[in-house]
A and B are shown apart, each in its own frame.
Chain A
Amino acid sequence: MKNSEAKNGKGDMSKDVEGHAFKKPQADLSEQTDKALSGLDRRDFLNVAAVGIAGMGVCGAAIPFIAQMNPSKDVSEQSKTEVDISTIQPGQTVKVVWRDQPVFIRHLTEQEITEANAVALSDLRDPETLEQRTKAGKTNWLVTMAVCTHLGCIPQGSNSSEPRGEYGGYICSCHGSAFDTAGRIRRGPAPTNLVVPPYRFISPSVISIG
């Protein structure tokens, strides 16, 4: 390459193709200081610009590959689940499915409500009252995700044959989190109360989750 260029008369290594002078690699001191003072020279600028643009291109091209991992529309748009709650007796809990995940609908007894209200907020890791976790005038209906806020197991206690733990709500046997009758975290590694999903009463006996 060098040789053939030299033969073509383009071998002068201090000039680029168009004959502009290169800065010699071993530039003298004043030239180097110049460069240091003025920051970027033309070549540095081209390098940074080229690498920058290419980098942006790579990042842009990565977007679809990252996005395809998100839930596809048929999964993400499963939006609503309607449940008739008229047959759920006080003290009973049913598990329903919303967005592939189980939800507890618990009809609280008077005693469970009293127990929940008797707890001082200062005793709670994630302070919330039963009122705040239920709909106005419907404090006897506790609707929560049946997904432990620790790592996602289904807590036990929805069925009267299952243990409920020392706080009378639910107990997650995976890593030992215990929840009270308002579904609030009381012991164990779970950081927050069982999540209350978005829902509303569309009639006194039917709720719509989602």
Chain B
Amino acid sequence: MKLSPPPYQPKNAFTRWLDDRLPVIRLWHDVMGKGYLVPRNLNWLWNFGVLAGIALTIQIITGLALAMHYVASSNEAFNSIEAIMRYVGFGWLIRYGHMVGASLFFAALYIHMFRGVYYGSYKAPREVVWLIGVLLFMLAMATAFLGYSLVWGQMSYWAAQVITGLFSVVPFVGEKIRIWVLGGFAPNAATVNRFFVLHFTLPFVILAVVGLHVWALHRQGSGNPTGIEVKKAEEVVPMQPYYIAKDLVAIGVFLLIFCSLVFFYPNIFTDPDNYIPANPFSTPAHIKPEWYFWPFYAVLRSFTVNFMGIPAKLWGVLGMGLSVLVWGLLPWLDNSPVRSGRYRPVFRCFFLLFMADILLLGFCGKQPAEEPWIRLGQWASLYYFAFFLVILPILPLVEKTKAVPSSVEEAEKKRTDA
């Protein structure tokens, strides 16, 4: 059952006039105001969607400022960024804000996604919200890669070379596609230019897709930690003022962390090698992506031998691609009728193991391509895929779940009593 929220009522002649012509205030009311009813029992994990939005906003604002000074040319790019750091007023602040912002954007996204897995947020009727989320994740990955290349330091250059190399696995035309993407035989002047255009454009595409994400979410309303759909008016509160206030607290904490990093540890996430200008004739001995790609990078490197008639290289790229795409299959891989991890004790163990496994994968991805990291990464990749493709589908058949309360109210009462 869908609870009916109070409709928007324009209060004066002007808002009435405007509402008849362009109902923007009504839109705000329905989406962020008193017209959006939210389960009252959301925990702090439900703040991370908004935090990702804040991070995106920071990226767009700092990015626009950087773009005023950045020169998209293979000769000038690196110097223009050094100039931003040294000569442009507050350029250091803006650039460090953009760098730290990218990391916090991914941190928020990852917590947002793990929240979804633990509480089964992807299950019916929110599959489309989830699918759009996975699309957003991929767009963010593309944007971050393109932005990282723009610096045209050693890591930027070799990231551009290696990531566009992924296209070369396509049978027959792979090398042609790679050359088409680069606009040359290796990353060159044309590459920086097009990467800049795409890096500038994609965040606005992301913004539009976020609109779809929220639209799809509001069609069904937010889920909650119990995984039980709200049924009564007592179980919900209006977004404004309750969750607006809560989100503002979260934003405050987020900005505190953001500022601490920008002011005291601006380079904590950066590879020092990227402060060396790009050299197309020497690959750094140990190249690795930014931290948020380490787990996927470890999957890529886990395939070292040809098997089943498929070359190791193709396996690696397929494996890495699948490790992202498999998130989109979750609504169909996990058929458990019980949504929330709260009532699934066995699932909970495997889920904790899954989080530990991703940390391990990330750690392996950070290390040089040597033993024991490759072997360890292979085991970690195995569990990663097993979690999605074997454990989740089989669990509902064998798991004895806890009794699910009949309503959110009852569930939360039980918790406070306990």
Hey, which bits of chain A sit against chain B, CB under 8 A? 66, 69-72, 75, 95, 97, 99-102, 125, 147, 149-154, 156, 173-176, 187-191
Chain A residues positioned under 8 Å from B311 (CB to CB): 191
Binds A, one of B2-10, B120-128, B158-166, B241-249: B158-166
**B186 and A100 contacting across the interface, CB-CB below 8 Å:** yes
**A189 and B194 contacting across the interface, CB-CB below 8 Å:** no
Name the one of A100, A149, A151 contacting B184, with C-beta atoms under 8 angstroms: A100
Tell me whether A173 and B181 are in contact in the complex, defined as CB-CB below 8 angstroms, given that A102-B280, A190-B313 are known contacts: no
B266 at the interface (CB under 8 A from A): no
**B188 and A69 contacting across the interface, CB-CB below 8 Å:** no
Near A by CB (< 8 A), chain B positions 276-313 give 280-283, 285-287, 300-301, 303-304, 306, 311-313
**A176 and B301 contacting across the interface, CB-CB below 8 Å:** yes
**B283 and A72 contacting across the interface, CB-CB below 8 Å:** no
Chain A residues positioned under 8 Å from B283 (CB to CB): 153-154, 156, 173-174
**B374 and A176 contacting across the interface, CB-CB below 8 Å:** yes
**B161 and A189 contacting across the interface, CB-CB below 8 Å:** no
**B312 and A174 contacting across the interface, CB-CB below 8 Å:** no
Hey, which bits of chain B sit against chain A, CB under 8 A? 158, 161-166, 168, 179-186, 188, 190, 194, 280-283, 285-287, 300-301, 303-304, 306, 311-314, 316, 368-370, 374
Main secondary structure of the interface of A (DSSP, over half): loop
Chain A residues positioned under 8 Å from B184 (CB to CB): 71, 75, 100
**A71 and B162 contacting across the interface, CB-CB below 8 Å:** no
Chain A residues positioned under 8 Å from B194 (CB to CB): 69
**A152 and B374 contacting across the interface, CB-CB below 8 Å:** no
Interface centre among A102, A152, A154, A188 (most CB of B within 10 A): A152
Chain A residues positioned under 8 Å from B285 (CB to CB): 156, 173
**Bound: A84/B283 CA distance, A:** 25
Tell me whether A176 and B370 are in contact in the complex, defined as CB-CB below 8 angstroms, given that A70-B179, A99-B185, A150-B313 are known contacts: yes
- Shortest A34–chain B CB gap in Å is 41
- Shortest B315–chain A CB gap in Å is 8
- Shortest B370–chain A CB gap in Å is 7
**B281 and A151 contacting across the interface, CB-CB below 8 Å:** no
**B316 and A189 contacting across the interface, CB-CB below 8 Å:** yes
Interface centre among A97, A99, A100, A147 (most CB of B within 10 A): A100
- Shortest A127–chain B CB gap in Å is 13
Name 27 interchain pairs, CB-CB below 8 A, sorted by A.
Answer: A69-B180, A69-B183, A71-B179, A71-B184, A71-B185, A72-B183, A72-B190, A99-B185, A151-B162, A151-B168, A152-B186, A153-B158, A154-B283, A173-B286, A173-B287, A175-B300, A175-B301, A176-B301, A176-B374, A187-B304, A188-B312, A188-B369, A189-B301, A189-B304, A189-B316, A190-B313, A191-B311
Tell me whether A153 and B161 are in contact in the complex, defined as CB-CB below 8 angstroms, given that A71-B190, A176-B374 are known contacts: yes
- Shortest B290–chain A CB gap in Å is 16
**A154 and B181 contacting across the interface, CB-CB below 8 Å:** no
Tell me whether A70 and B183 are in contact in the complex, defined as CB-CB below 8 angstroms, given that A102-B280, A156-B285, A174-B283 are known contacts: yes
**A151 and B166 contacting across the interface, CB-CB below 8 Å:** yes
Chain B residues positioned under 8 Å from A95 (CB to CB): 281
- Pairs of residues from A and B, 5 with the lowest C-beta to C-beta distance, nearest first: A151-B165, A176-B369, A191-B311, A152-B165, A151-B162
Give the residue name and chain of the A residue nearest to B164 (CB).
A152
Tell me whether A189 and B185 are in contact in the complex, defined as CB-CB below 8 angstroms, given that A95-B281, A97-B281 are known contacts: no
**B369 and A75 contacting across the interface, CB-CB below 8 Å:** no
**A152 and B281 contacting across the interface, CB-CB below 8 Å:** no
Chain B residues positioned under 8 Å from A174 (CB to CB): 158, 162, 283, 287, 369
Chain A residues positioned under 8 Å from B164 (CB to CB): 152
- Shortest B181–chain A CB gap in Å is 7
Name the one of B185, B286, B306, B313 contacting A100, with C-beta atoms under 8 angstroms: B185
Give the residue name and chain of the B residue nearest to A176 (CB).
B369
- Shortest B278–chain A CB gap in Å is 12
**A153 and B287 contacting across the interface, CB-CB below 8 Å:** yes
**Bound: A150/B312 CA distance, A:** 9
**Bound: A97/B283 CA distance, A:** 15
Give the residue name and chain of the B residue nearest to A156 (CB).
B285
> Given contacts A154-B281, A191-B311, could you give 11 more A-B pairs where the C-beta distance is less than 8 Å?
A71-B179, A97-B281, A149-B313, A151-B162, A151-B163, A151-B168, A153-B287, A175-B300, A176-B301, A188-B312, A190-B312
**Bound: A70/B191 CA distance, A:** 11
**A154 and B282 contacting across the interface, CB-CB below 8 Å:** yes
- Shortest B43–chain A CB gap in Å is 41
- Shortest A185–chain B CB gap in Å is 10
Name the one of B180, B186, B312, B369 contacting A101, with C-beta atoms under 8 angstroms: B186
- Shortest B307–chain A CB gap in Å is 12
- Shortest B118–chain A CB gap in Å is 33
Tell me whether A189 and B188 are in contact in the complex, defined as CB-CB below 8 angstroms, given that A70-B180, A153-B158, A154-B281 are known contacts: no
- Shortest A101–chain B CB gap in Å is 5
Name the one of B162, B183, B313 contacting A153, with C-beta atoms under 8 angstroms: B162
- Shortest A124–chain B CB gap in Å is 12
Name the one of A71, A102, A125, A151 contacting B306, with C-beta atoms under 8 angstroms: A125
Chain B residues positioned under 8 Å from A100 (CB to CB): 184-186, 188, 280
Chain B residues positioned under 8 Å from A75 (CB to CB): 183-185, 188, 190
Give the residue name and chain of the A residue nearest to B158 (CB).
A153
Give the residue name and chain of the A residue nearest to B161 (CB).
A152
**Bound: A175/B182 CA distance, A:** 22
**B368 and A173 contacting across the interface, CB-CB below 8 Å:** yes
Chain A residues positioned under 8 Å from B316 (CB to CB): 175, 189
- Shortest A37–chain B CB gap in Å is 40
- Shortest A104–chain B CB gap in Å is 11
Chain A residues positioned under 8 Å from B181 (CB to CB): 69
